[in-house]
A and B are shown apart, each in its own frame.
Chain A
Amino acid sequence: MCAEPLMQNTLKVLEKKALSVESFRLSLSRHGLELTRGHTNTLQINVGLLCNQACRHCHLEAGPNRKEVMDAKTVDEVIAFAKRGHFQVIDITGGAPELNPNLADMIERLSPLAPRIMLRSNLTALTDGKRDSLVDVCRKHRTVIVASFPSLNTTQAEAQRGKGIFHKSILTLKRLNSIGYGHDGSDLELDLVSNPAGAFLPASQVQEEKRFRRDLQRKWGITFNHIHTFANVPLGRFRQWLRHSGNLEKYLQNLASHFNPCAIEGLMCRTLISVSWDGYLYDCDFNLAKGLYMGGRKTHISEMDGPPKPGTPIAVSDHCYACTAGSGFT
């Protein structure tokens, strides 16, 4: 082993010792809880870590220099699995999924296989002028667009996502509205996702929906359907920032102190499986970032007859506190 990985390992061990937070597994057992699968109805597909942005809160450390992109063979295997799985929801994510050259083809082929197809977008890759037909494909198949929009404030949004992002995001939201997305009663659903721009918990979803709806309409004439507010997960680039800014321990303690045992029942990992760009399965996108395989066993999508059975254990680690803080991450 060369010196650098050895030093990184030592730092991780020291960090673990220094962080005075009860392990997530112990918290579950103290509350008499187990985290196991319910009926798996959602297939989340991570089509790659390539992204046109390098957001500071990204748990996957996605960015312009990443080479991990789902290839055509894996796309075929994922579509074959989607046929076997009879999912209710197919959720396409990345990186910026728009940068995967197979995305439009995937949406065409996946759309007949599930009633709800979702595309997670950072709002800058979708309308960068390099893939104009993609928006039309989404519109044609009534693909739900789930767009990252962390804050109504330019400084906060750009501190998290990079300079110039806010204005581009506003333009994309306007464009999506102009083709029918995000209006009341329309079947073209446009949802927003807001993550805090720092080491603090997210605002109440109900309150933020009211405020974003009022201010986006008033300032830019923009409408949307729903907003989801999520806590940042202490992994990847966000964890590095927490460590360097001296916020790691306090943030982990804050998440752990907001552990809500009632949130376990509705956690997304109970009904979702996540397939990575190389076709391996995880219980969620955060476990994918952490390298924790589904149920703790490395399984390729081509080995699966269908979704995992109800009652199958879910792999957990301390980052799971981000999903159980307050009302939970669903």
Chain B
Amino acid sequence: METYYDPQDLPKFEEITEDASELGKKFFDYYSAVFAEGDLTEREKALIALAAAHTIQCPYCIDAYTQACLEKGSNLGEMTEAIHVAVAIRGGASLVHGVQMRKIAKKLSM
């Protein structure tokens, strides 16, 4: 069955530079620098990327960073906890808007 998301398309990501090479190069140079070892390890950065990938629900990113997390030495427990961090922030961001709802409701109510 045809789908918009085909795993075989992921390695074609670099082709995005073909028609805008200067911008593409800048992006990939920046991308490589972001994921290189810094004050955070490559393993920690891959876990953050995995959590972010679930927040933006990008199948390419989930595929790539699941593999990357395993290759950097993370385990399923750590990866699941990282996703829960993203879920908590995402859920919390919805819930915290309840203060707006409560403020407006209080203003309108007797």
Residues in chain A within 8 A of chain B (CB atoms): 151-153, 155-156, 196, 198, 200-204, 207-208, 211
Contacts and interface: CB of A to CB of B under 8 A. Distances in A.
A204 B36 CA distance: 12
Nearest to B43: A207
Contact of B72 (A152, A155, A203): A203
Contacts of B77: 153, 155
B42 A201 contact: no
A207 B41 contact: yes
Interface residues of B, number: 12
B73 A155 contact: no
B75 A207 contact: no
Given A155-B77, A207-B43, A211-B43, A196 B70 contact: yes
30 contacts: A151-B73, A151-B75, A152-B75, A153-B75, A153-B76, A153-B77, A155-B75, A155-B76, A155-B77, A156-B75, A156-B76, A196-B71, A200-B67, A200-B70, A201-B71, A202-B71, A203-B43, A203-B71, A203-B72, A204-B42, A204-B72, A207-B37, A207-B41, A207-B42, A207-B43, A207-B72, A207-B73, A208-B73, A211-B43, A211-B73
Nearest to A208: B73
Nearest to A206: B37
A207 B41 CA distance: 8
Contacts, number: 34
Contacts of B67: 200
A71 to B, nearest CB: 41
A155 B76 CA distance: 9
Nearest to A153: B75
A5 B67 CA distance: 36
Interface in B72-100: 72-73, 75-77
A211 B78 CA distance: 14
Interface of B: 37, 41-43, 67, 70-73, 75-77
A68 to B, nearest CB: 33
A201 B67 CA distance: 9
Nearest to B70: A200
B73 to A, nearest CB: 4
A138 to B, nearest CB: 29
Contacts of B71: 196, 200-203
Contacts of A196: 70-71
Contacts of B72: 203-204, 207
Contacts of A202: 71
Nearest to A253: B11
Contacts of A153: 75-77
Given A151-B73, A203-B72, 11 more contacts: A153-B75, A153-B77, A196-B70, A200-B67, A202-B71, A204-B72, A207-B42, A207-B43, A207-B73, A211-B43, A211-B73
Nearest to A254: B67
A153 B76 CA distance: 9
Contacts of B37: 207
Nearest 10 interchain pairs by C-beta = A203-B73, A153-B75, A200-B70, A201-B71, A200-B71, A156-B75, A203-B72, A208-B73, A200-B67, A203-B71
A303 B71 CA distance: 43
Contacts of A156: 75-76
B11 to A, nearest CB: 9
Nearest to A257: B11
Nearest to B72: A203
A239 B77 CA distance: 26
A201 B73 CA distance: 10
Contacts of A207: 37, 41-43, 72-73
A198 B70 contact: yes
A260 B37 CA distance: 21
Contacts of B41: 207
A155 B74 CA distance: 12
Nearest to A152: B75
Interface centre among B37, B42, B67, B70 (most CB of A within 10 A): B70
A292 B50 CA distance: 42
B12 to A, nearest CB: 14
